[in-house]
A and B are shown apart, each in its own frame.
Chain A
Amino acid sequence: MSLFDFCQWLHDSPAAAVMRSSSATFTVINSIHALGIVLVAGTILLVDLRLLGLGLRREPVKDVVARIIPVTLFGFAMMALTGLLMFFPEAVRYYKSPAFRIKLVLLALLGLNALIFHLTVYRDAPKWELGPVPVRARIAGLFSLMLWIGVIAAGRSIPYGRDYDLGFNRAPGRSPALVARCLSCR
């Protein structure tokens, strides 16, 4: 069974039918997913600002990271869950969407960046956390920031594209973007 077949199977499942049945359900799940950005990207932003020396400068790095990360992980679980719930009913469309694929790749890179950071330069945090931030930590912060901006941009671009013929590719005029914005309109 190929990946496409799997997506087709998800698309045809009864759970997907439930998600498709009500536009309100989709909008609520979508809203939770969008507001989850605050819990995940918003908190990571503060960690990144700390690593880049731009914010929360007087807090020790290990403190900032240790206190914020549990919240981030909880938020990420919430986003993954709502993301899955949105993925099910439209699995085939997402499969075809380049923006969605880019988003997943960027998320994987974010995980990799975080892993490398935690396993290397973060280990020595007590030595440098109250002074200037070492270059490798700054790079980790910068990559994290850029990747998050990419994830958000890619996520926002999902409803637009060749396979979403919601009029977005029509000639500009009376807000074609508005029509394309609504993923829940069928």
Chain B
Amino acid sequence: MPLIQWIESTWLDTAIRHSVATIRIAEIIHLLGLTLFGGTVFILNLTLFGFGPPRRALARIAGELMPWTVAGFLVMAVSGSVLFLSSPDRFYENPALRVKLAILPLALIFQFTIHRKIAFADPPAAPGRAALAACLSSVLWIGVGFAGKAIGPYAVQ
């Protein structure tokens, strides 16, 4: 595919493909980003479900966690891009990555629109709604996670 060939011809991609250390560090940073992003989203969802922090603190907690959530996501996006660049042609054909990149926009949009609205609602959103938002968010992101982990096994074929 011409786009992939163009990518592979760039200085950046050549440098990444030839530096095993970069790829390994990118993998670790990707996981650390997951810790930050996933941890904050998880705590928020936990609160929406009614566990952990009390519901009345929802808007405040959501406000405090949001910057970390965004930072975590950016870390994952950048490190994920570096990982993709380590072998664009093979990753392009990877079915698990395609599934992941299909679910990802859905998860992202949901997380930063409807879910955000419900989390920041003042007075706090009704428990039923909150739980539904948390449930959808969890399912979507867990889907992204499982698809991501499946990339490895599919990549070796």
Q: Is B36 an interface residue (CB 8 A)?
A: yes
* Interfacial chain B residues near A10, Cβ < 8 Å: none
Q: Is B20 an interface residue (CB 8 A)?
A: yes
Cα of A59 to Cα of B57 in the assembled complex, Å: 9
Q: Is A30 an interface residue (CB 8 A)?
A: yes
Q: Is B125 an interface residue (CB 8 A)?
A: no
**Contact-size category for A:** 35 or more
- Using an 8 Å CB-CB cutoff, how does the interface string of A56-82 with B read, 1 for contact, 0 for none? 111100010001100100000000000
- Using an 8 Å CB-CB cutoff, how does the interface string of B51-74 with A read, 1 for contact, 0 for none? 111000100110011001000000
Tell whether, in the assembled complex, residue B60 and residue A58 are in contact, meaning their CB atoms are under 8 Å apart. yes
Tell whether, in the assembled complex, residue B87 and residue A42 are in contact, meaning their CB atoms are under 8 Å apart. no
Known interface pairs A67-B53, A71-B46; A35-B142 also in contact (CB < 8 Å): yes
Could you tell me the dominant secondary structure of chain A's interface residues? helix
Residue of B nearest to A184 (CB): B153
**Contact-size category for B:** 35 or more
Tell whether, in the assembled complex, residue A172 and residue B19 are in contact, meaning their CB atoms are under 8 Å apart. yes
Q: Is B124 an interface residue (CB 8 A)?
A: no
Q: Is B77 an interface residue (CB 8 A)?
A: no
A-B pairs with lowest CB-CB distance, top 4: A42-B39, A38-B38, A175-B87, A31-B149
Q: Which B residues lie at the A interface, using CB under 8 A?
A: 17-20, 23-24, 27-28, 31-32, 34-36, 38-40, 42-43, 46, 51-53, 57, 60-61, 64-65, 68, 86-87, 90, 142, 145-146, 149-150, 152-153, 155-156
Tell whether, in the assembled complex, residue B42 and residue A42 are in contact, meaning their CB atoms are under 8 Å apart. yes
Cα of A148 to Cα of B60 in the assembled complex, Å: 27
* Interfacial chain A residues near B65, Cβ < 8 Å: 55-56
Tell whether, in the assembled complex, residue A30 and residue B24 are in contact, meaning their CB atoms are under 8 Å apart. no
Tell whether, in the assembled complex, residue B40 and residue A42 are in contact, meaning their CB atoms are under 8 Å apart. yes
Cα of A89 to Cα of B48 in the assembled complex, Å: 39
Shortest CB-to-CB span from B55 to chain A, Å, is 12
Tell whether, in the assembled complex, residue B156 and residue A71 are in contact, meaning their CB atoms are under 8 Å apart. no
Interface residues of A in 4-28 (CB under 8 A from B): 23, 27-28
Q: Is A164 an interface residue (CB 8 A)?
A: no
* Interfacial chain B residues near A177, Cβ < 8 Å: 20, 23-24, 86
